[in-house]
Amino acid sequence: MTQTDPVDLTAALVRCPSVTPEEGGALTVLQTLLENAGFACTRVDRGGVSNLFARWGDKGHARSFGFNGHTDVVPLGNPDDWSMPPFGAKIKDGMLYGRGSTDMKSGVAAFVAAAIDFVTDTPPDGAVILTITGDEEGDAIDGTVALLDWMAIEGEQMSVCLVGEPTCPDRMGEMMKIGRRGSMNAWFKVTGTQGHSAYPHRALNPMPAMARLMDVLASHELDRGTDHFDTSTLAVVTIDTGNSATNVIPAETRACINIRFNDIHTGEGLSYWLRDEAAKVDAAFGTRTDVKIKISGEAFLTPPGPLSDLIGKAVKAETGIAPELSTSGGTSDARFVKDHCPVVEFGLVGQTMHAVDERVAVDQVVQLKAIYARILKDYFAQ
């Protein structure tokens, strides 16, 4: 039986210039391949974003294994800084170069290749579902969310899901993600009254109020971590006033913070705290603070159990390494999938993702396909 080559498929996807939110031909490549293998495919495009749903097996089957991933990529930066063509998929010294080669066209290629070969060689008693988006690196409003909305309407259901994001820091097989921290940004605008710096009593300087507020927020201990999560963090990322004059007290100043929070907190609870602290500073200084908040995702945890055991067993069988169960890193589309079914993330070493000369070891792509194939085999053998 002819096997689907995940390295060739990775190269074909890298050659598609799918800088978010452009589809670039990547989903077309996958849809053609999957339909030829007997998958029922549906394009679930929304808001100018391209998404692909593919299912092998009967709709509504009691048991289904799902994979989730994305084919959109971040911008190149300066193309002149690349030593290899960013969309060339050239292989040198065992490494395949190109934007998205690590994050995460190789992961998509590995699970697509594994799924095609699995259902062809040993058709399972159940369904294999692939959800692939073009909006993970962008606003993530019309990507996996759109796929899950469509699935709910159509009665499509994954029993469990594996997200193929890069999860290993240094060595293949060393880490899987069983949860993610929540993430939120908050923008503050403190308004006072402009005036001459020689007569500060005739003005209301917003700068001391902002300095106080940022110090209060940054100095606060949010928590001390949990069994599966590190301590939550708050970072002041910018304070901007734009005042070039040395003899003018400005009318307003702005700042932004980012919070990465564990499962002790919710976005709503932290939002209330931020607004409450801003109100206290306003009461002390007489200023007015406007607060704008965007919650990118809530913290979540898939407790260690059958799904993480299944994946960990397959990873160890193929790599000799028992992966650590982690919740580190940024956000991923698993934050949306967790409301649909249990979800775990496992993928390649992610050292060069988003970097100039992004590249992936071709032997790791082959190994990742083998891990995903073993996971499918073991899941449907249960």
The residues that are catalytic are 72, 136
CB neighbour burial string for 269-304, b if at least 16 within 10 angstroms, e if fewer: ebbeebeebbeebbeebebebebebebbbbbbbbee
CA angle 344, 350, 356 (to 5 degrees): 145
> Three-state SS string across 276-342, please?
HHHHHHHHHHCCEEEEEEEEEECCEECCCCHHHHHHHHHHHHHHCCCCEEECCCCCCCHHHHCCCCC
Cβ contact 92:188 at 8 Å:
no
